[in-house]
């Protein structure tokens, strides 16, 4: 099931500031060389994340799931002076592409990629986060949520990607769908937080602590 019908998605993309040449090249290489290029956030969600960083003034960003670097580079574009992004991924071949494009961007000094399981990286990182973007392996979503919730800064936000999972959360049959649906249900009644489920792309949930 498409969350947003294709013509509306195309209209939204056409009425969103186009990607930079570098991001367009990154998206093209990802489509040509990666087995699951649809994992890349793309124009609408990339700009959404960029504006989220800009609007909140986030200085310290944690990304769980780098892939080829599209969302990290999108968010880096809006960081204030001194801001930085820690991003993690478990696949060396994803990190290689991401690092190559990060090195070609003006933001190489703002983005650090950590190769390894995200939960280990989160445990090693110090301090609090102004924005956490959760976009990695779905069975671990609840673990990521619990690991980062206590680490949010006073006005910090978590953005969780794919929370509608092509509509499969309505009747979750497989492990990934069930993991996402269970987290959605838990967040909806979690008295520690205020949350909104957005229908951007494949579903994005924004969460803040009370």
Ligand X SMILES: C[S@@+](CC[C@H](N)C(=O)[O-])C[C@H]1O[C@@H](n2cnc3c(N)ncnc32)[C@H](O)[C@@H]1O
Q: Please select the residue that binds ligand X; options are 68, 105, 163, 184, rule is CB under 6 A.
A: 68
d(CA 34, CA 156): 33
Q: Given the complex with ligand X, which of 119 and 195 has the nearer CB atom?
A: 119
- Evaluated on CA atoms 54, 60, 63, 68, the torsion sign reads positive
- Binding-residue total with ligand X (CB under 6 A): 19
Q: Does 67 bind ligand X (CB under 6 A)?
A: yes
Annotate 53-74 with b (16+ C-beta within 10 A) or e (fewer). beebebbbbbbbbbbbbbbbbb
| Minimal distance, residue 88 CB to ligand X, in Å | 5
By CB under 6 A, the residues from 8 to 47 that bind ligand X are: 39-41
Q: Given the complex with ligand X, which of 60 and 94 has the nearer CB atom?
A: 94
- Evaluated on CA atoms 184, 189, 193, 199, the torsion sign reads positive
For ligand X, what does the binding mask look like between residues 82 and 121, x meaning CB under 6 A? ------xxxx--x----------------------xx---
Q: Does 141 bind ligand X (CB under 6 A)?
A: no
Please name which of 195, 83, 93 lies closest in space to residue 134, comparing C-alpha atoms: 195
Q: Which residue has the tokens 């994005």?
A: 204
d(CA 152, CA 155): 8
| Minimal distance, residue 56 CB to ligand X, in Å | 18
Q: Does 73 bind ligand X (CB under 6 A)?
A: no
- Region of 57 please: left (phi>0), alpha (psi -120 to 50) or beta: left
| Minimal distance, residue 136 CB to ligand X, in Å | 3
Contacting residues toward ligand X, per CB under 6 A: 39-41, 65, 67-68, 70-71, 88-91, 94, 117-118, 135-137, 140
């Amino acid at each position: 099931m498409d969350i947003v019908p294709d013509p509306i998605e195309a209209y939204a993309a056409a009425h969103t500031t186009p990607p930079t040449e570098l991001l367009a090249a990154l998206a093209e290489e990802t489509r040509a060389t990666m087995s699951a290029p649809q994992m890349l956030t793309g124009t609408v969600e990339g700009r959404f994340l960029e504006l989220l960083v800009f609007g909140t003034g986030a200085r310290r960003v944690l990304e769980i799931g780098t892939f080829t670097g599209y969302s990290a580079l999108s968010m880096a574009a809006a960081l204030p002076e001194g801001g930085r992004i820690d991003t993690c991924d478990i696949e060396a071949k994803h990190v290689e592409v991401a690092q190559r494009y990060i090195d070609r961007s003006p933001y190489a000094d703002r983005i650090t990629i950590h190769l390894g399981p995200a939960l280990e990286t989160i445990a090693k990182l110090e301090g609090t986060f102004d924005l956490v973007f959760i976009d990695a392996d779905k069975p671990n979503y609840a673990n990521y949520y619990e690991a980062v919730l206590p680490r949010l800064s006073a006005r910090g936000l978590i953005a969780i990607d794919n929370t509608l999972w092509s509509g499969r959360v309505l009747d979750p049959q497989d492990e990934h769908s069930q993991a996402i649906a269970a987290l959605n249900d838990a967040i909806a009644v979690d008295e520690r937080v205020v949350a909104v489920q957005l229908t951007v792309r494949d579903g994005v949930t924004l969460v803040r602590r009370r």
